């Protein structure tokens, strides 16, 4: 019985953990991408440090080879001049420099191998992070669409509006705007009809009093009259 109870508790805890992970999957993924990017940055710094050390070893190796060439020339000159004591001093230094040179060459070989490994690791990690970040953006977009459609498939949360509710709000807003526009037009017509100028125009159009505006017929008549006067 106790074993069953413990198993039940563990199962419930696992189910709760799975639910928490599912509900916060995007937040978890964002943090994991940031962690992976931080690790990649550390790897890049390690690569840069290794490359700097390799350059230092290369410069040291070049200096050792220059010193060796110079000492060999001088030691040979001492031998040719019968100064074996000086030649022996030069030979001892040459032996030490050759040991240092060989150590520097071995170090450069090791650095070259490490740098090649680090470069490959950084290159592959960069590719994986780019793909992971692309997938994360797609997942975020898909999650946003899922939330937008939640009202249809899952039932919207109480504090979140659905797409259908937003469309209904827009429809009501447009209806109110259209009604307001119609009312404003009617008010303009009422104001225009009540204006003195409007009343005078209607009276003139009915033949009561002189016309207030020149019509096309008036223009034609005036032009004909001007032509007759010019002909006479």
Residues of the chain with pLDDT under 50: 5, 8, 14, 16, 152-153
Q: Cβ distance 160 to 150 under 8 Å? A: yes
**What pTM value is reported for the model?**
0.49
Q: What is the DSSP string of 64-80?
A: HHHHHHHHHHHHHHHHH
Residues 131 and 224 in one domain: no
Residues 180 and 223 in one domain: yes
Provide the mean pLDDT of the chain. 77
Residues 133 and 72 in one domain: yes
Query: By residue range, what is the domain housing residue 219?
Result: 170-231
Residues 143 and 44 in one domain: yes
Q: 25-80 vs 84-148: helix axis angle to the nearest 10?
A: 170
Q: Cβ distance 47 to 124 under 8 Å? A: no
Q: What is the pLDDT of residues 89-123, one digit of tens each?
A: 889 989 998 998 898 888 888 888 888 988 998 99
pLDDT for the residue 2: 52
Residues 65 and 96 in one domain: yes
Residues 100 and 32 in one domain: yes
Residues 139 and 27 in one domain: yes
CA–CA gap between residue 75 and residue 14 (Å, rounded) = 79
| Nearest 10 degrees: Cα torsion 107, 112, 113, 114 | 90
pLDDT for the residue 153: 47
pLDDT for the residue 95: 92
Residues 12 and 108 in one domain: yes
pLDDT for the residue 114: 85
Question: H-type helices in the chain, by residue range?
Answer: 2-23, 25-80, 84-148, 150-153, 163-194, 196-205, 216-231
Residues 56 and 129 in one domain: yes
Is residue 154 one of the residues assigned to a domain? no
Q: What is the pLDDT of residues 196-221, one digit of tens each?
A: 556 666 666 666 767 666 667 767 77
Owner of token pair 């189910």: 15
The total of structural domains in the chain comes to: 2
pLDDT for the residue 148: 66
Residues 141 and 190 in one domain: no
């Amino acid at each position: 019985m106790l074993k069953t109870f413990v198993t039940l508790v563990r199962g419930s805890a696992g189910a709760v953990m799975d639910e928490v992970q599912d509900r916060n999957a995007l937040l978890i993924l964002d943090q994991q991408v940031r962690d992976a990017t931080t690790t990649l940055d550390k790897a890049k710094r390690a690569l840069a440090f290794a490359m700097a050390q390799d350059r230092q070893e290369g410069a040291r190796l070049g200096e050792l080879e220059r010193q060796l060439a110079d000492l060999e020339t001088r030691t040979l000159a001492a031998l040719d001049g019968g100064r074996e004591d000086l030649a022996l001093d030069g030979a001892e230094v040459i032996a030490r420099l050759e040991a240092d040179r060989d150590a520097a060459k071995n170090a450069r070989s090791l650095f070259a191998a490490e740098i090649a490994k680090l470069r490959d690791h950084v290159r592959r990690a960069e590719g994986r992070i780019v793909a992971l970040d692309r997938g994360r953006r797609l997942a975020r977009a898909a999650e946003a669409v899922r939330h937008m459609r939640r009202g249809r498939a899952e039932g919207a949360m109480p504090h979140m509006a659905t797409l259908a509710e937003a469309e209904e709000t827009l429809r009501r807003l447009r209806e109110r705007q259209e009604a307001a526009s119609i009312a404003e037009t009617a008010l303009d017509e009422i104001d225009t009809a009540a204006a003195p100028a409007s009343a005078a125009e209607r009276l003139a159009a009915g033949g009561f009093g002189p016309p207030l505006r020149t019509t096309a017929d008036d223009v034609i008549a005036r032009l004909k009259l001007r032509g007759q006067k010019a002909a006479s």
